[in-house]
């Protein structure tokens, strides 16, 4: 499973999962089976398209899941349309969140629990 994590600073599996998807400095994609890590820069100029477009275009891979602290409704809808499931981060590192995800202990992000100011999409 390919899992995307927004981070402020990329430190691989030891990166702290960022609280706001759209403001992340990078996106780290982890293959939960091989533990291969790929980092994608978040060019803020793509914000009109939404960062999910950035991840999809530059990641050149299907993302099965996104683990994030906060995300807007528009991004949730675009990821869901791509078949990506979204989970709420517990804080902490990618490694910690990935372990919780693969053991079934992360809750799926409710569509109505979006970041303030993003519910209008």
- Output Rg (C-alpha) for the chain, integer angstroms: 13
Q: Which fold has domain 2-102?
A: Nucleotidyltransferase; domain 5 (3.30.420)
Which pLDDT score is estimated for 121? 37
Give yes or no for a contact between 88 and 69, defined as CB atoms under 8 angstroms apart. Answer: yes
Question: Residue 26 forms beta bridges with which residues?
Answer: 7, 41
pTM for this prediction: 0.83
Which pLDDT score is estimated for 76? 86
Q: 36-45: per-residue pLDDT in tens?
A: 999 888 876 5
Q: 61-74: per-residue pLDDT in tens?
A: 689 999 999 888 88
Q: Parse the chain into domains and list their residue ranges.
A: 2-102
């Amino acid at each position: 499973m390919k899992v995307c994590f927004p981070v402020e600073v990329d430190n691989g599996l030891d990166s702290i999962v960022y609280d706001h998807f759209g403001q992340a400095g990078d996106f780290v994609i982890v293959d939960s089976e091989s533990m291969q890590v790929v980092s994608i820069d978040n060019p803020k100029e793509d914000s009109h398209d939404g960062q999910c477009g950035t991840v999809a275009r530059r990641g050149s891979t299907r993302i099965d899941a996104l683990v994030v602290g906060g995300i807007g409704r528009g991004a949730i809808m675009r990821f869901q349309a791509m078949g990506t499931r979204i989970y709420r981060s517990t804080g902490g590192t990618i490694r910690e969140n990935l372990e919780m995800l693969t053991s079934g202990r992360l809750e799926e992000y409710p569509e109505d629990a979006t970041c303030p100011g993003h519910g209008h999409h």
